[in-house]
Chain A
Amino acid sequence: MKASSDATISSSDRDQEAPLLELVGVTKAFPAVLANDDVSLRIQPGEIRAILGENGAGKSTLVKIIYGVLVPDAGEIRWRGEKVAIRNPAHARALGIGMVFQHFSLFETLTVAENISLATAQSPAELEPAIVEFGDRFGLPVEPRALVHSLSVGERQRVEIIRCLLQDPRLIIMDEPTSVLPPSGIPPLFETIRKLTEQGRAVLFISHKLEEIRSLCHQATVMRGGKVIASVDPAKETNESLAHLMIGRDIPHPEREAATPAENAAMAVRGLTYTPPDPFGTILRDISLSLHPGEIVGIAGVSGNGQRELAAVLSGETMLPSSRRDQVVIDGNACGDIDSGKRRSLGLAFVPEERNGRGAVPEMDLTKNALLTAHSFGLTKRGFIQRPAARAFAERCIAEMDVRCGGWDAEARSLSGGNLQKYIIGREIRLQPQILIASQPTWGVDVGAAAAIRQQLVDLRDGGVAILVISEELEELLEIADRLHVLFRGHLSPSIERARANTTLIGDFMTGGFLAADQAPGTASL
């Protein structure tokens, strides 16, 4: 067994103590791929360790091995100096390894407190004060009695983080925990993570946000193709050097020129007020917005401020009563009361934030998932499915978007979130829409692929498509959007031109700073 590459590179004083977790030569092969190839790793108590790598680099496999979901084919795991075989996640938790998932494992029909109660010995009622207290302390506000199905993706992740913290683990694995936090929520979380590690806990931090890794982590283990490529001190690296290590080349930034939007709006929302049936939903208040061919409009804001409701009203998944049909206009046609299928025939395509179960049917293969929205693009004939055509469509999406999967017959649920997202975006782009609405387009997608998706959005814009991007990643919006709105408690801010957009102004808007000005007559934005 070769010596751990960590030991040779790291020279911090933490190495003097016994390691909390040590992996030696861990190897895991799947039928098609060697997911982990002789991985060695050593985590000291009190350390914040980043694992950095693209989708398919082997990060998830490694984490699953540590958390007991997968059993390695070869190699050794030592926990506090003793060799262990982690049988299952319950065993991992008993040892003191906790995990915050990227895919949520919450029961939708239960409340937040009930979900957390499932993982602990306490009753939901006993947990409520603790949930509120953790929420306050870590800036993770969540209503303990809210039903999980009514929560946004961002709020669900907060529940996951709180649930893990309540179990008081020694090693916490965090799978992209910051991806749904508002910019103002990240420093407090980092502060929490640092406080936790001061007490000797270690954190395994998986993220693709290089900036965060550089400011937070003591060590970064870079993986590529199942192997550990390097172990570096991220504070001494630049974003470019880290990205280069991770993907083996430089990350492309989208090439964009100034937008030349057409005069007539492709889609417009006029004075939309909508109260969702869900009592925990956000009421949309007097929203007006226009979307012109050849521009990318971004909607920023922390999740739970009405993004979910707005996206559903725009896509047609939520239909308005016909008396208010002219509150949503596509290409001059009032269409607030027609369903998403009919809006698609008017040239609308939509990428939802949930991939499994909404953008794709988890139990169906990728070919059948192509049919979901592309059925009228020559994939059916006289009401019958043309399987060769559907398969060819799926194969083109897979090839064009570099979707890592078992092929056209892979079930959607077998793909990682990022790969399924690439597939869905590929499918929607191939529909040649006039209007594309994308909700969290790059959430959970690795840097290289996210850059490719952003470039595709910019290219589509240059081809005259009107694009609306709803995203919690401000950097993403600042990179691609021609102008921005901010959604706060169901209110939409005035439009901010690209040139004026900066984190200070948007941060102010994200906490409602625009409201006073907006309510004065005559200043409503369009």
Chain B
Amino acid sequence: MIKMPWVIETKSHRSPYAPLLAPLVAVAITVCTGIILLSLRGVPPGKALFFLYFSPFSSAFNISEVFLKMAPLLLIAQGLAIGFRAKVWNIGAEGQLLLGAIGASLLPIFFNDSQNPLMLPAMALIGGCFGMAWAGIAAWVRVRFNANEILVTLMLNSIALQLLFYLVAGPLRDPFGFNFPQSALFPEVGMLPILVDGLRVNISIFFAVIVTLLAWLFVERSMIGYKLEVGGTAPDAARYAGFGEGRAIWIALLIGGAAAGLAGAFEAAGPLGQLQRNISPGYGFAAIIVAFLGGLRAIGILFAAFFMAVIFVGGDIAQTSAGVPFAVNIVLQGVLLVTYLAARVFVDYRVRFGTKRRLPEGAH
């Protein structure tokens, strides 16, 4: 065994504020990293700070953008967190979102002249079901063949993206769209109502907040949520109590898929108004970070989704105003996740330098 010059040991006493501290530290480091990155691209630090973290609040339009991007992040992260608490690792929210968008688009594309006010709710329903079905594939092969859900959901993302490319280039392409790979524009009844005239933010943010409340209720109060949590924290206790593992996997993945599918439907019916190749700037992946940053708790995720939306909007602004590449966004997301995970370690453990090793202490 390799001997390291340090040991990592369990903290005997942990501060009640420590779990709150980890995301704050991660956020602080991410803010600093953003400034450093932009400085390296020749942007003065003060300006970098402004572009990335203050400009998202600088105008009504930018604030509206923050809430527009917060909605899908919040929605997806709440669904994912329920699965993650049960230790079911759904990495495929991006694909489930795309399927949700595809499913929801079918109605407005094929009934393009419709005036039926039920179209929007039907789109949301179909979108949720498509996302659920896509996640259901992973649940089925996991329960039936014990195929790892991380790999399956991850690979299904690529399949979903290719499926979308095929559909917008072929069967769902707008026949009057000059061969652009995109669908016809949705009719009015297939669009989410805008909250403030002239801005893009729509009612999806309300749905995301409602889903947050439902997620809280599900996790903290429902018996199914309890069973999922027992399965995640103590699998032997779940088997002892007779909470089936297969059922937990199905429920965890279907909830995550439904939330992502709904987010996809809202993207198509919201800012885009059509099905196109660029439906999501990586919401499905960013939501994984949001879920963890929020401590897998409904209320924490609310704040985490807000911060992540700020990074998205700040990155966009920096891109257009200071000419930094879009990759800055992705780098910052990565920094956020890695620093959070690292900081989280120090909530339960501490590092002690020195080569002497201690036994794990049994009783406490």
Contacts and interface: CB of A to CB of B under 8 A. Distances in A.
B180 to A, nearest CB: 48
Contacts of B364: 69, 413
B236 A354 contact: yes
A372 interface: yes
A363 B233 contact: yes
Contacts of A521: none
A64 B361 CA distance: 10
A110 B243 CA distance: 28
A387 B357 CA distance: 44
Interface in B208-240: 221-224, 226, 230, 233-234, 236-237, 239-240
A103 B362 contact: yes
Contacts of B224: 383
B359 interface: yes
Contact of A69 (B221, B234, B357, B363): B363
Which one of B223, B236, B363 has the greatest number of beta carbons of chain A within 10 Å? B363
Interface string A113-130: 000011100010000000
A172 interface: no
Interface string B170-191: 0000000000000000000000
Which one of A352, A385, A413 has the greatest number of beta carbons of chain B within 10 Å? A385
Contact of B358 (A90, A117, A341): A90
A363 B226 CA distance: 13
B222 A384 contact: yes
B241 A385 contact: no
Contact of B223 (A102, A357, A385): A385
B356 interface: yes
Interface in A402-441: 413
Which one of B240, B356, B364 has the greatest number of beta carbons of chain A within 10 Å? B240
Interface stretch (A258-266, A268-276, A284-292, A342-350): A342-350
Contacts of B359: 89-90, 93, 105, 118-119
A497 to B, nearest CB: 32
Nearest to B362: A105
Nearest to B241: A372
A169 to B, nearest CB: 13
B236 A357 contact: yes
Contacts of B2: none
B360 interface: yes
Contacts of A461: none
A358 interface: yes
Contacts of B1: 117, 123
Given A89-B358, A104-B362, A340 B223 contact: no
Given A104-B362, A105-B362, A341-B242, A384 B236 contact: no
A160 to B, nearest CB: 8
Contacts of B281: none
Given A69-B361, A90-B358, A103-B363, A341 B221 contact: no
A340 B234 contact: no
B230 to A, nearest CB: 6
Given A117-B1, A375-B223, A384-B222, A340 B240 contact: yes
B244 interface: yes
Contacts of A380: 223
A358 B361 contact: no
A384 B221 contact: yes
Contacts of A387: 221
A384 B240 contact: no
A67 B356 CA distance: 17
Which one of B230, B236, B241 has the greatest number of beta carbons of chain A within 10 Å? B241
Given A101-B362, A103-B363, A364 B233 contact: yes
A33 B226 CA distance: 32
A358 B240 contact: yes
Which one of A340, A360, A380 has the greatest number of beta carbons of chain B within 10 Å? A340
A105 B358 CA distance: 12
A56 interface: no
Contacts of B240: 315, 317, 340, 350, 352, 358-359, 372-373
Contacts of A5: none
Contacts of B356: 90
Interface in B1-46: 1
A88 interface: yes
Nearest to A175: B363
Given A90-B358, A357-B236, A361-B234, A102 B363 contact: yes
B121 to A, nearest CB: 24
Contacts of B230: 361, 364, 372
Interface in B70-107: none
Contacts of B363: 60, 64, 69, 101-103
B242 A344 contact: yes
A28 B23 CA distance: 36
B222 A358 contact: no
A352 B224 CA distance: 23
Nearest to B236: A358
Contacts of A64: 363
Nearest to B12: A69
Contacts of A384: 221-223
A370 B359 CA distance: 33
A394 to B, nearest CB: 14
Contact of A339 (B223, B244, B358): B244
Given A316-B242, A339-B242, A385-B223, A118 B357 contact: yes
A412 to B, nearest CB: 9
Contacts of A118: 357, 359
Interface of B: 1, 221-224, 226, 230, 233-234, 236-237, 239-244, 356-364
24 contacts: A69-B361, A69-B364, A89-B359, A90-B357, A93-B359, A101-B362, A102-B362, A102-B363, A105-B359, A105-B362, A117-B1, A119-B359, A315-B240, A316-B242, A317-B239, A339-B239, A339-B244, A340-B239, A362-B234, A364-B230, A372-B241, A373-B240, A375-B223, A385-B226
